[in-house]
Structure 1
């Protein structure tokens, strides 16, 4: 399976910027669905309400699904990979 990597930067409520990737099956093209996954993640990090749009989240590249991501993507339809300042 190929996954689309959506590179995402969101300004947190404290003004710092968090960087994470939203990985979805390559066939998913609906931006509102992808942004919805990002909003679910932001809510889990107590950042609900912070904007996530095409300005903050852009398709970066397509890559082959890694084994360590497969279970979560098959279960939830996506996975978040934390990059910077996500704690």
Structure 2
């Protein structure tokens, strides 16, 4: 499966920065859908009020998903790679 990687940086409620990547199937191009994936993830981290828009979330590149990531995307629709402050 080919996935698009969306590089995402947000300011957390405590003022620190959170960096994560949203991986979604390459055929999903609707930005609101991509942002909704990020907002769903942020809710799991108690960061629901964090803003998520083109200012925080940008397309980075395409890559081939590993079997484990592909399985997660099939089950949930997207996959998150936690980078910093998550």
TM class, shorter-chain normalised? over 0.9
Matched, 1:70 2:70: yes
Task: Name segments (4+ residues, structure 1) moved above 2 Å.
Answer: none
Equivalent residue of 1:63, what SS?
Answer: strand
Structure 2-normalised TM-score?
0.97
Displacement after TM superposition at 1:58 (Å): 0.2
Structure 1-normalised TM-score?
0.96
Equivalent residue of 2:61, what SS?
Answer: strand
Count of residue pairs brought into register by the alignment = 86
Considering only aligned residues, what root-mean-square deviation do their CA atoms show, in Å? 0.6
Displacement after TM superposition at 1:71 (Å): 1.1
Query: Bigger CA drift: 66-75 or 3-12?
Result: 66-75
The Cα offsets for residues 26-65 of structure 1, whole Å up to 9 and x where unpaired, read as 0100000110010011111000010000000000000011
CA distance in 1, matches of 2:8, 2:72: 19
Aligned to 1:37: 37
Q: Which consecutive residues of structure 1, in runs of 5 or more, have no partner in the other structure?
A: none
Displacement after TM superposition at 1:14 (Å): 0.4
